[in-house]
A and B are shown apart, each in its own frame.
Chain A
Amino acid sequence: MCSYITETTAVVGSAKGPEGWVNVTSANVYFDHPYHAALDHALSIDFLSPDSSQRVAVELSAESARELVARILSALATGEAEHG
């Protein structure tokens, strides 16, 4: 069934979309039927510009999304240790 459950968080940074780089200030995260990925369900993240007019989106399998979370945390840990 289509799910309406969406997690939202504020983010600080930039993302590159079809019109180039934009500032992004929020991210919506949900697990539902994707629009494009050949998956029954996908972990989707929409990075949004301040006025929500531009969206940079990804649709990932559950397994690869979990692995990505682990790699992000790992990169942060080693990177922050390196850079102080």
Chain B
Amino acid sequence: MSYRGMVAGIVSFKAHQGDVGEAYYARPTGDGPFPGVVLIHHMPGWDDWCMEATRKLAHFGFAAIAPHLYFREGPGTPDDLAAKARAAGGVYDNQVVGDVAGAMAFLRAQPEANGKVGVIGFCSGGRHAYLAACQLDGVDAVVDCWGGNIVVDDPSQLTPQRPVAPIDLTEKLRAPVLGLFGNDDKNPSPAQVDTLEAKLKSLHKYYEFHRYDGAGHGFFAADRPGYRPEQAKDGWQKVISFFHKNLD
């Protein structure tokens, strides 16, 4: 079901260690109850596409929040803050997970909430989404869109900011997982996607993986050459269906 009206804008929320963060929040008009979704942006930051995707989720009936993971670098524009975060080696995993926990609490505190919350992330945000689902209680569904470095082939790639390969935490995962991947992607490569699937399967976790031929990394981004309309349309339908199935 889609909703023709929505409310969207910037909100404050209690982030990691009580810091006051900012987020983009969009929900359908009406009293609800609406399931919630936390959307985690990619490394380049809290950009226009992230806002569009948040509104798209609201259009399909979810109260969606996209926390700005780089707000602590501010003040400044999202692109400048992303540049600062990048120069510092990226944000720390535990801080991101804490921010996601805060965004989840924000959603559950809203009068229109139905109490269920999913998490979705794109690119590095896909890794963060998987990580959060392994480390937080209360994640009811998780969607990993081409998250790289969930599988880490070279341990030297681990850093103080990203000290773990999330695949190694899979045993703690409680939420059902939807994974979308392009078969032309290099990170995650098809072999890494197979490795992740094998881990989920061996631990008897619920998962759905969909691999798209003719698509590489970030094939949802309509303003980039890598956009693949057919695959993106199918992928979005799978995201919406998966969240409704697990969160309604």
| B-binding residues in A (CB < 8 A) | 1-4, 6, 8, 28, 30, 32-36, 38-40, 46, 52, 55, 57
Contact = CB atoms under 8 A, between A and B. Distances in A.
A40 to B, nearest CB: 4
Chain B contact patch, size range:
35 or more
Most buried by B among A1, A3, A8, A33: A1
Given A33-B43, A39-B225, A1 B123 contact: yes
10 closest residue pairs by CB, A with B: A1-B148, A2-B43, A1-B187, A2-B124, A35-B79, A40-B226, A4-B90, A2-B123, A35-B44, A33-B44
* Dominant secondary structure of chain B at its interface with chain A: loop
Interface of B: 42-45, 47, 78-80, 82-84, 86-87, 89-90, 123-124, 146-149, 159, 161, 185-188, 216-218, 221, 223-226
Most buried by A among B86, B221, B223: B86
Contacts of B44: 2, 32-35
B106 to A, nearest CB: 25
29 contacts: A1-B146, A1-B149, A1-B186, A1-B187, A1-B188, A2-B42, A3-B43, A4-B86, A4-B89, A6-B89, A8-B87, A28-B86, A30-B86, A32-B43, A32-B86, A33-B42, A33-B43, A33-B44, A33-B218, A35-B79, A36-B79, A38-B223, A38-B224, A40-B224, A40-B225, A46-B83, A46-B87, A55-B83, A57-B79
A63 to B, nearest CB: 13
Contacts of B123: 1-2, 33
Nearest to A40: B226
A3 B107 CA distance: 30
Given A33-B123, A40-B225, A1 B83 contact: no
Contacts of B147: 1
A2 B148 contact: yes
A34 B225 CA distance: 12
Contact of A40 (B45, B146, B216): B216
Nearest to A2: B43
Given A1-B146, A46-B83, A57-B79, 15 more contacts: A1-B123, A1-B217, A2-B44, A2-B148, A4-B90, A4-B159, A6-B87, A28-B86, A32-B44, A33-B42, A36-B79, A39-B225, A40-B224, A40-B226, A57-B83
